[in-house]
């Protein structure tokens, strides 16, 4: 998953960046770095790990964690 893929996923889900971060269970700055593709502090590329990509796919498919949270 690329940063562009992540941005398209978020928009297709109708999420703000804050809502997307909350749904994925990550901090807003972490989400923003993934969507931007680089870390603010270092300018180094940020990789979107497989677990996050799979979580995006699960949310798109309508799956939610046990307990709905």
67 assigned to some structural domain: no
55 assigned to some structural domain: yes
68 assigned to some structural domain: no
48 assigned to some structural domain: yes
Please choose, from the candidates 63, 66, 67, the residue with its C-alpha nearest in 3D space to the C-alpha of residue 13: 63
Q: What is the pLDDT of residues 31-62, one digit of tens each?
A: 999 999 999 889 999 999 999 999 999 999 99
* Domain ranges, residue 28: 3-61
- Split into its structural domains, the chain has a count of 1
Number of Cβ atoms within 10 Å of the Cβ of 58: 13
CATH number at residue 36: 1.10.260
Please choose, from the candidates 16, 51, 22, 48, the residue with its C-alpha nearest in 3D space to the C-alpha of residue 35: 48
Residue 64's pLDDT band, with cuts at 50, 70 and 90, is: confident
- Residues 24/55, Cβ–Cβ less than 8 Å: yes
- Average model confidence (pLDDT) across the chain: 93
């Amino acid at each position: 998953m690329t940063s562009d893929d992540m941005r398209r996923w978020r928009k297709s889900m109708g999420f703000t960046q804050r809502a997307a971060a909350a749904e994925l269970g990550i901090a807003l700055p972490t989400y923003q770095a993934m969507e931007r593709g680089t870390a603010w502090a270092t300018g180094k590329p940020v990789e979107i790990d497989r677990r996050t990509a799979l979580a995006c796919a699960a949310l798109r498919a309508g799956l939610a964690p046990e307990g709905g949270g």
